Structure 1
Amino acid sequence: MSQEIEIGLGKKGRLAYSLDDVSIVPSRRTRDPQDVSTSWQVDAYEFDVPVIGAPMDSVTSPATAIAMGKMGALGVLDLEGLWTRYADPQPLLDEIAQLPADKATKRIQEIYAEPIKPELIVERLHEIRDAGVTVAGALSPQRTQDYYSTVLEAGVDLFVIRGTVVSAEHVSKDHEPLNLKKFIYDLDVPVIVGGAANYTAALHLMRTGAAGVLVGFGGGAVSANRNTIGVHAPMATAIADVAEARRDYMDESGGRYVQVIADGGMGDSGSFIKAFALGADAVMLGSPLARAKEAPGQGMHWGAEARHQTLPRGFRTNVGTVGTLEEVMFGPSHNADGTTNFVGALRRAMATTGYVDLKSFQRCPVTVTPNR
């Protein structure tokens, strides 16, 4: 049962937990790591590992999306990013990586003021498709109606609608909002949508027909939402809430299973693993992949919120470089800080607790020790 606490006489609030507050508990049974399966599936698309590269310019380029696909993961290209605004974004990526901290946000705003070019959307998605991997692209809810037809014509396999908060009931006096249910129903490709951070919001998104729901607001390491607009959702509670919405929606819909994808705030392998223990089917990673040698950000990391023209809610930060993309994903690791060998760590945790697949690992016991 949720615990409500009194903030003051006129207001109560729900107690919520971050991933740092939660620990996984070993069981009486253990397994060998090589006997563990980390595979997952969304709609008709199967992947060897439950890792999704976040649609952020510092993380996912066409080249890294292809590399992730060949590793058995999924890379999602930001279709509003530099790759669809500039024919050659490399000089801009180099510049952003070298900017002084006090000038970074303003210059990022200027760089991203360049219009999106539909022909570049097509070119980038074709590049990924030609490599023979699953093609995934992301748009914000505000841009989806403008560019979705271009995206579909380019041949996307999975379509992602990703924003800070995405609701099934957006109301606007200025324009006709995106009708998610009708939009998803009319598409021939599976749609992943989010972020959602509580039971009710997630349940409404599941009812639109989404194949997957993103949990959280993304960009944990580069987000300033808490400072700028006061919005924050501790991820442990958010994931568990959305997992419960999935269970209830399965009963309501007669067995339709919606993928729960944790998005943001998992900067180390321990947090990554705990997301699965709390009910996630897959995890969308940003900063861990931004630390790879192949990452477009060159050790710098930023997200879509940093480029907002009037109210940036994110920033560029230095996450450094820890190894190749292969090492970040599969090791070998040469330190114990949780920044490399994410899949190996997941296998070890599943084996230590006695689970052989991700679905069963979602049931593993956890303890809560508030980190306050």
Structure 2
Amino acid sequence: DDPTVVVRLLQELHTAPIDPALLAEALRGVREAGVTVAARVSPQRARELTGHLLAAGVEILVVQGTIISAEHVSTEAAEPLNLKQFIAELDVPVVAGGVGDYRTAMHLMRTGAAGVLVGYGESLATTTDAVLGIGVPMATAIVDAAAARRDYLDETGGRYVHVIADGGIFGSGDIAKAIACGADAVMLGEQLAEAEEAPGGGLYWTPAAAHPSLPRSDVIGLGPSGLGRQSLDSVLFGPSDSPDGTVNLFGALRRAMAKTGYSDLKEFQRVGLTIRG
């Protein structure tokens, strides 16, 4: 009944030193499923962990924090991360974020990132706004990042950086709105955790839950949709027996596009928008 018990357990588990062999084994299991393997690191530990991740076969590296910049500073002896230099040394594409405005999005694009995360992963579990007072108005942030993408495309003569909405995605309607604002893709968290194949059995939390001194995520239980837990295929592609926008996410996106007269995602990014109070 006490949510802090689970958070304390996560904090304790994350104090254990990283075992490269165990990390490689876990990633090997993902790779054997025949999917693209991506891994997330924080800016603070990017240099420490990336070698192990690449050796294990990671194909996309995600450098993600609440807010990140192209260059970091540190009062410790370790050299802070220079993201542009770091990306230039790698042979795999790097996705970086989060960002919340035009200037930061442009800075990250200029580092050579293949994609930029907009937002910090706001979900039903996150408490970042309550703890730090930091929030991201996702519609404005996505529009700003899309403008940076356009200007960077002109600046470089054709280099396209993908804008990925990471936060505020609670249902299929939010996916449609994010794409309409200019996002190329969205990050899904609790939506996938709700599927019957999810290893957490319906529990969901973000990496910030395990922060050693300032956790910023609860561990939440997600209730079943419709008559029971849905398969991952149903969550993504339907059919749905739930009217709340948590099942058949991309069937709903296709329907939203059709209703507004679009059949192509890139065209849908230019759909007319209005603001409602």
Cα distance in 1 between the residues matched to 2:150 and 2:275: 22
Report the alpha carbon displacement of residue 234 of structure 1 after superposing the two structures with TM. Answer: 1.1
Contact 1:219–1:303 (Cα < 8 Å) also in 2? no
- Answer yes or no: is 1:116 the counterpart of 2:35: no
1:70-119 C-alpha deviation (Å, 9 max, x unpaired): xxxxxxxxxxxxxxxxxxxxxxxxxxxxx742422222212222222111
Contact 2:68–2:97 (Cα < 8 Å) also in 1? yes
Cα distance in 2 between the residues matched to 1:122 and 1:357: 38
TM-score between both structures, scaled by the size of structure 1: 0.71
Report the alpha carbon displacement of residue 312 of structure 1 after superposing the two structures with TM. Answer: 0.8
User: Which among 34, 46, 54 is matched to residue 132 of structure 1?
Assistant: 34
Cα distance in 2 between the residues matched to 1:321 and 1:187: 41
- Answer yes or no: is 1:364 the counterpart of 2:266: no
Instruction: Tell me the secondary structure at the aligned position of residue 120 of structure 2.
Output: coil
Aligned residue in 1 for 2:240? 333
Aligned residue in 2 for 1:247? 150
Aligned AA for 2:32? D
1:181-224 C-alpha deviation (Å, 9 max, x unpaired): 01111111111111111111110000000000000001422111
Aligned residue in 2 for 1:303? 206
User: Which among 119, 124, 127 is matched to residue 216 of structure 1?
Assistant: 119
Cα distance in 2 between the residues matched to 1:101 and 1:154: 34
User: Which among 73, 90, 93 is matched to residue 171 of structure 1?
Assistant: 73
Instruction: Tell me the secondary structure at the aligned position of residue 346 of structure 1.
Output: helix
Cα distance in 1 between the residues matched to 2:32 and 2:202: 28
Aligned AA for 2:51? S
Cα distance in 2 between the residues matched to 1:305 and 1:320: 22
Report the alpha carbon displacement of residue 122 of structure 1 after superposing the two structures with TM. Answer: 1.4
Cα distance in 1 between the residues matched to 2:5 and 2:153: 49
Cα distance in 2 between the residues matched to 1:222 and 1:280: 23
Aligned residue in 1 for 2:258? 351
Aligned residue in 2 for 1:85? none
Aligned AA for 2:209? A
Instruction: Tell me the secondary structure at the aligned position of residue 146 of structure 1.
Output: helix
- Answer yes or no: is 1:200 the counterpart of 2:103: yes
1:43-71 C-alpha deviation (Å, 9 max, x unpaired): xxxxxxxxxxxxxxxxxxxxxxxxxxxxx
Cα distance in 1 between the residues matched to 2:4 and 2:106: 41
Cα distance in 1 between the residues matched to 2:211 and 2:221: 20
Contact 1:273–1:346 (Cα < 8 Å) also in 2? yes
Aligned AA for 2:158? G
Contact 2:165–2:185 (Cα < 8 Å) also in 1? yes
Cα distance in 2 between the residues matched to 1:104 and 1:246: 40
Cα distance in 1 between the residues matched to 2:56 and 2:220: 33
Contact 1:198–1:241 (Cα < 8 Å) also in 2? yes
TM-score between both structures, scaled by the size of structure 2: 0.94
Aligned-residue sequence identity (percent) comes to 54
- Answer yes or no: is 1:152 the counterpart of 2:54: yes
Report the alpha carbon displacement of residue 143 of structure 1 after superposing the two structures with TM. Answer: 1.3
Contact 2:70–2:108 (Cα < 8 Å) also in 1? yes
The runs of at least 4 consecutive aligned structure 1 residues that moved more than 6 Å come to: none
Cα distance in 1 between the residues matched to 2:124 and 2:216: 12
User: Which among 294, 299, 309 is matched to residue 197 of structure 2?
Assistant: 294
- Number of aligned residues: 272
Q: Which runs of 5+ in 2 are unaligned?
A: none
Contact 1:300–1:320 (Cα < 8 Å) also in 2? no
User: Which among 141, 161, 177 is matched to residue 63 of structure 2?
Assistant: 161
Contact 2:115–2:164 (Cα < 8 Å) also in 1? yes
Cα distance in 2 between the residues matched to 1:294 and 1:132: 16
Contact 1:306–1:316 (Cα < 8 Å) also in 2? yes
Contact 1:298–1:321 (Cα < 8 Å) also in 2? no
Q: Which runs of 5+ in 1 are unaligned?
A: 1-98
1:153-173 C-alpha deviation (Å, 9 max, x unpaired): 222211111111111122112
Please list, as runs of the form range in 1=range in 2, the aligned pairs for 1:14-25 lying within 5 A after superposition. Answer: none
Aligned residue in 2 for 1:235? 138
Contact 1:293–1:321 (Cα < 8 Å) also in 2? no
Instruction: Tell me the secondary structure at the aligned position of residue 35 of structure 2.
Output: coil
Please list, as runs of the form range in 1=range in 2, the aligned pairs for 1:39-78 lying within 5 A after superposition. Answer: none
- Answer yes or no: is 1:282 the counterpart of 2:189: no
Instruction: Tell me the secondary structure at the aligned position of residue 222 of structure 1.
Output: coil
1:125-149 C-alpha deviation (Å, 9 max, x unpaired): 2222223221111111111111111
Higher relative contact order (CA closer than 8 Å, sequence separation 6+)? 1
1:321-372 C-alpha deviation (Å, 9 max, x unpaired): 33111111011100210010001001111111121211111000111102xx
